[in-house]
């Protein structure tokens, strides 16, 4: 098979306006989308009143696929768009298998709908032992997707996490048939995120041990930051008042960053390239980063992800938060800024409108 190298174009979201937005604020974000993609959002809403479409999100693990899909849904149409995560489905499926009554119902469904090369009994047995990750064959995932999507009714779907491996790319061609949407347009959305961005996101993420809220020490801090004199380290304090000042902690293994998922990232990259070389399906190319020397021309300053660092005021003992534009090296070693999700979603909205020819 011929696999092309993909050039992800830089999308221009800069406009001639002195208006500035805080993109972390819900209301300001709505105003931002109105200004930058209002016309397209209107068209999409009109289109969705009578039509549906299917999007396959393809990006490396932790590239923000879910974030972009959920924001698109929030901005365009909360009721008619559904973000469907295969990963979440598989995790739920695992629970069902452990429940006797639900399992019976599931097996009777699969007996009618599963066609594959591994016997159903064998799959169920391995699932009971909770060794799902290695054994769930594509054919079984397809049967499950069909069941779950049928339950949700006629909607526009953003399918996140499918296809998972190279063999599944061809499945996506007749995926539409599986969900009885023969006439629905479908679109591949390919996402390019520098590995340095994924690495930093993993390395700095922390969670609250009580309410499990996830944050990031350098990218998404809480309101209160604490300095530990003994450890000589800064810690985020959970914003949730019920957690009574709980200190957020790093999950085991996260300090290693992308190291443990290197192979997976390589497979994901191959998959993206292969999907790109598939004819007959429109493709939307999204990029998370913009080279520093092109930033002025293409984006507005407030669209850049800020990076936070901390300093201790020796006299007052208070922690000072320092904010600056987050800069990383992309996979080719070019200094880049990483974009916040909203400008990427503006690009998504505009490109999908174009792909749908509306
Ligand atoms: Zn908490």
79 CA distance to ligand 1 middle (Å) = 30
CB 175 within 8 A of CB 154: no
Q: Would you write out the chain's pLDDT as a tens digit for each of its 358 residues?
A: 444 578 899 999 999 888 999 999 999 999 999 999 999 999 999 999 999 998 989 999 889 999 999 999 999 999 999 999 988 888 887 788 788 888 888 888 888 888 778 888 887 777 777 654 555 777 788 788 888 888 888 899 999 886 666 565 566 555 665 666 557 888 999 999 999 999 999 999 999 999 999 999 999 999 999 999 999 999 999 999 999 999 999 999 999 999 999 998 998 898 888 888 877 889 999 999 999 999 999 999 999 999 999 999 988 889 999 999 999 999 999 999 999 999 999 999 999 999 999 9
209 CA distance to ligand 1 middle (Å) = 7
244: left (phi over 0), alpha (psi -120 to 50) or beta: left
CB 57 within 8 A of CB 69: yes
318 CA distance to ligand 1 middle (Å) = 22
CB 341 within 8 A of CB 64: yes
| Residue corresponding to tokens 């085991």 | 252
Q: Burial letters for 92-102: b for 16+ Cβ neighbours within 10 Å, e otherwise? A: ebeeebeeeee
pTM score of the predicted model: 0.89
In the three-class reduction of DSSP (H, G, I as helix; E, B as strand; rest coil), residue 281 is classed as coil
CA 272 to chain centre: 15
Confidence at residue 152, expressed as pLDDT on a 0 to 100 scale: 86
CB 290 within 8 A of CB 337: yes
How would you classify the pairing of strands 156-160 and 81-85?
A: parallel
237 CA distance to ligand 1 middle (Å) = 8
DSSP state, 304?
A: B
Residues 6+ apart with CB under 8 A from 168: 138, 162
Burial of 19 (0-12, 13-18, 19+ CB in 10 A): exposed
144 CA distance to ligand 1 middle (Å) = 34
219 CA distance to ligand 1 middle (Å) = 18
Confidence at residue 201, expressed as pLDDT on a 0 to 100 scale: 93
217 CA distance to ligand 1 middle (Å) = 15
Backbone angles phi, psi at 87, to 5 degrees: -60, -45
Confidence at residue 163, expressed as pLDDT on a 0 to 100 scale: 60
**CA distance to 109, 143, 153, 180, per residue, from 150 (Å):** 13, 11, 6, 9
Residues 6+ apart with CB under 8 A from 332: none
CA atoms within 13 A on the CB side of 179: 29
245 CA distance to ligand 1 middle (Å) = 8
Confidence at residue 90, expressed as pLDDT on a 0 to 100 scale: 82
Confidence at residue 130, expressed as pLDDT on a 0 to 100 scale: 61
208 CA distance to ligand 1 middle (Å) = 5
């Amino acid at each position: 098979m011929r696999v092309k190298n993909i050039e992800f174009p830089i999308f221009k979201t800069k406009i001639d306006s002195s208006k500035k937005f805080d993109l972390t604020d819900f209301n300001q974000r709505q105003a931002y989308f109105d200004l930058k993609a209002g016309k397209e959002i209107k068209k999409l809403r009109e289109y969705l009143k009578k039509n549906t479409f299917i999007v396959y999100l393809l990006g490396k693990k932790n590239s923000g696929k879910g974030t972009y899909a959920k924001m698109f849904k929030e901005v365009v149409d909360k009721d008619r768009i559904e973000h469907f995560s295969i990963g979440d489905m598989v995790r739920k499926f695992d629970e069902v298998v452990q429940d006797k009554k639900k399992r019976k119902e599931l097996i009777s469904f699969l007996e009618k709908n599963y066609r594959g090369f591994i016997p159903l009994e064998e799959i169920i047995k391995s699932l009971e032992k909770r060794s799902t990750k290695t054994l769930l064959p594509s054919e079984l995932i397809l049967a499950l997707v069909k069941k779950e999507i049928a339950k949700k009714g006629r909607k526009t779907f953003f399918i996140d996490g499918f296809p998972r491996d190279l063999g599944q790319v061809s499945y996506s061609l007749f995926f539409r048939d599986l969900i009885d949407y023969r006439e629905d347009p479908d679109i591949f959305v390919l996402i390019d995120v520098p590995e340095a961005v994924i690495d930093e996101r993993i390395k700095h993420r922390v969670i609250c041990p009580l309410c499990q809220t996830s944050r990031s020490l350098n990218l998404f801090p809480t309101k209160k930051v604490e300095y530990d004199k003994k450890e000589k380290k800064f810690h985020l304090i959970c914003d949730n008042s019920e957690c009574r000042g709980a200190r957020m902690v790093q999950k085991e293994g996260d300090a290693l960053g992308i190291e443990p998922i290197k192979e997976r990232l390589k497979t994901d990259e191959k998959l993206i390239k292969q999907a790109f070389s598939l004819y007959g399906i429109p493709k939307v190319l999204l990029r998370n980063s913009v080279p520093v020397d092109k930033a002025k021309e293409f984006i507005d300053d407030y669209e850049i992800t800020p990076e936070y660092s901390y300093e201790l005021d020796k006299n007052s003992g208070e922690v000072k938060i320092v904010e600056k534009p987050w800069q990383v090296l992309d996979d080719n070693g070019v200094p880049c800024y990483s974009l916040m999700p909203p400008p990427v979603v503006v690009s998504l909205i505009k490109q999908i409108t174009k792909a749908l020819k509306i």
